[in-house]
Structure 1
């Protein structure tokens, strides 16, 4: 699997599709979630600044198989925001997620980002394992519905030494 830095035509649709399919099947998220991912990812790509933001795509023989984003637009106040991290069903369990997270965290280190954060929820055990392996710690848990269905939301943070 090749990790590509930056936009590839069609990647917005593919990243949205991977999220929509996986989360509909595993936790019952619907149109509200898919629309949120599509809207926010599109807006991110339009304001993307390569010195501040990062987008990595895992590419295999059959196309894009995973993604992760670092949104650095508020890194000074809140920290860099890790978003849209996913591996396709076909590539899950093959180290793609670890490669994507390493690319994102190397970017943060190179930019001197002292804090990185992400929001997730408590049903994603494999992702949590990867986050913790890369130095993230659970900072807060709360009930919420930002993804269109009520879940136990989790805030994970990484503070550089």
Structure 2
């Protein structure tokens, strides 16, 4: 299946990203309404304050449909570091290089902006994503039981020190 990486918002992208997250994480981890509304609310808040100078959104698009996403939230990039968020690839594109392309675009953006650090939150058991994170230099820095997504899981924080 062919895809392209598109930088920025497209009509329907916000709903598509929320749907991808809601469906995948319900199947994978039993996340429910709390999680899906959290993604929708926080993604909408991000979109409303989005600033092209510090933030980035990339979409994997196939046949006009959003099949993946990644965000760099740079609001605290000079403090805690850039926050990599809402990284997901649909079942249709998983294993076809879309995840690698999305992470590459996001990290290239961070380096171009001179961000020194990037971090993300995830949870144990997402092995394919973890492999991509670690291949790109992210290291696990924290792990603890938590329920920030509405279901108790082993939450993990990964950090990356970026070269300028």
User: What TM-score comes out, normalization by structure 1 length?
Assistant: 0.99
Residue 123 of structure 1, CA deviation: 1.1
Runs of 4+ in structure 1 deviating by more than 2 angstroms, as ranges, are none
Which residue number corresponds to residue 72 of structure 1?
Answer: 74
TM, length-normalised to structure 2: 0.97
Aligned length: 161
Q: CA RMSD in A?
A: 0.6
How far is the alpha carbon of 1:154 from its aligned partner?
0.3
CA distance in 2, matches of 1:100, 1:153: 22
Q: Structure 1: how far apart are the matches of 2:146 and 2:81?
A: 21
What are the superposed Cα offsets for residues 54-107 of structure 1, whole Å, 9 maximum, x if unpaired?
000001115111000000000111000000000011111111000000000000
Decide which of 152, 155, 158 is 1:156's aligned counterpart.
158
Counterpart position of 1:7? 9
CA separation in 2, counterparts of 1:36 and 1:98?
Answer: 26
Unaligned runs of 5+ in 2: none
Q: Which residue of 2 aligns with 1:49?
A: 51
Long gaps (5+) in structure 1: none
Partners of 2:64 and 2:89 in 1: how far apart? 13
